[in-house]
Amino acid sequence: MAEETEKISINGIIAELERLISSKYLDSKDFELLLKKAGVLEIWNTKSDEFQRKSGVCFVGFGNVYAREVFEWLFTSIINNDKNACLEFTVIVLKDYIQWNSKHLNSKLDFKLLFEELAEIYGENELRDIKKDIANTRKLYSPKKHLKIWGRFKSFITYLLSDVPFGKTEIPRIFVFVAYFIGIFILCIIAYNLCIDFTGSNDFLKPVFDFIF
């Protein structure tokens, strides 16, 4: 397997992964948890310490400044040993990153070039289901979807705060809605009390009103 992957350049795949994936994600608790679930967190930490020792420079308060270097090393190591395991790991990372991006960056993600690079090694047939899986994950955590919901919420708030004519002046629309619901509530209380008085002398209707109120 190693001989097969050595003949294929994976620089394009690594370059596309680095283009898509933010350094903030690689140094996040979310990615750390993903590595832990994948059983490679200890290897990640060991290699990070090794890169730091080789540099001879200690960065305090900047997180893992060698995250990209370690990510490239980890990806290369996996694909050189088992390219199928590497594809599975890549999909897990991409799906987790899509979710993380929707929460922290909301940036637009385009996987077209990455899939073109992956197709050079795995072929289009092997990637067909994976593309669908990634597409479904993108729809689920689409930044546009979140922005659309937020936009509708803002429009609704703006609508409630807009002014409406009230006599010779104008008042915020939300006051009208509040007054309307208070009025409905008062009418319901009055109707309820009237029903109680009415059913007091009409026992056969009492179960009906008890059910309604």
pLDDT of the residue at 204: 46
* 90 and 17 within one domain: yes
Domain that residue 41 falls in: 2-142
Tell me the H-state helices in 39-172. Answer: 41-55, 67-81, 83-104, 112-122, 124-140, 143-161
What is the model's pTM? Answer: 0.63
Round to whole Å and give the CA distance between 62 and 129: 39
Q: Is residue 207 part of a domain?
A: yes
Question: Tens digit of pLDDT for each residue in 104-140?
Answer: 998 889 999 999 999 999 999 999 999 999 999 999 8
Structurally, the chain folds into a number of domains equal to 2
Q: Is residue 155 part of a domain?
A: no
Round to whole Å and give the CA distance between 182 and 117: 63
Q: Is residue 148 part of a domain?
A: no
* 118 and 53 within one domain: yes
* 93 and 48 within one domain: yes
* 67 and 30 within one domain: yes
* 115 and 75 within one domain: yes
Average pLDDT, the chain: 81
Indicate the residue among 110, 142, 174 that finishes a domain: 142
pLDDT of the residue at 154: 72
* 177 and 107 within one domain: no
Q: Is residue 152 part of a domain?
A: no
* 14 and 89 within one domain: yes
* 126 and 26 within one domain: yes
* Two structure tokens written together for 44: 């990640």
Q: Is residue 147 part of a domain?
A: no
* 168 and 131 within one domain: no
Question: Tens digit of pLDDT for each residue in 60-112?
Answer: 444 577 899 999 999 999 988 898 999 999 999 999 999 999 999 988 899 99
Round to whole Å and give the CA distance between 187 and 192: 8
* Two structure tokens written together for 163: 């002014």
Indicate the residue among 93, 112, 142 that finishes a domain: 142
* 168 and 91 within one domain: no
> Identity (one letter) of the amino acid at 201?
S
Q: Is residue 40 part of a domain?
A: yes
pLDDT at residue 1 tops 60: no
Q: Is residue 151 part of a domain?
A: no
* 8 and 85 within one domain: yes
* 111 and 169 within one domain: no
Question: Tens digit of pLDDT for each residue in 158-202?
Answer: 776 777 676 777 777 777 778 888 888 888 888 777 766 665 545
Average pLDDT for 41-69: 78
Average pLDDT for 54-62: 56
Q: Is residue 15 part of a domain?
A: yes
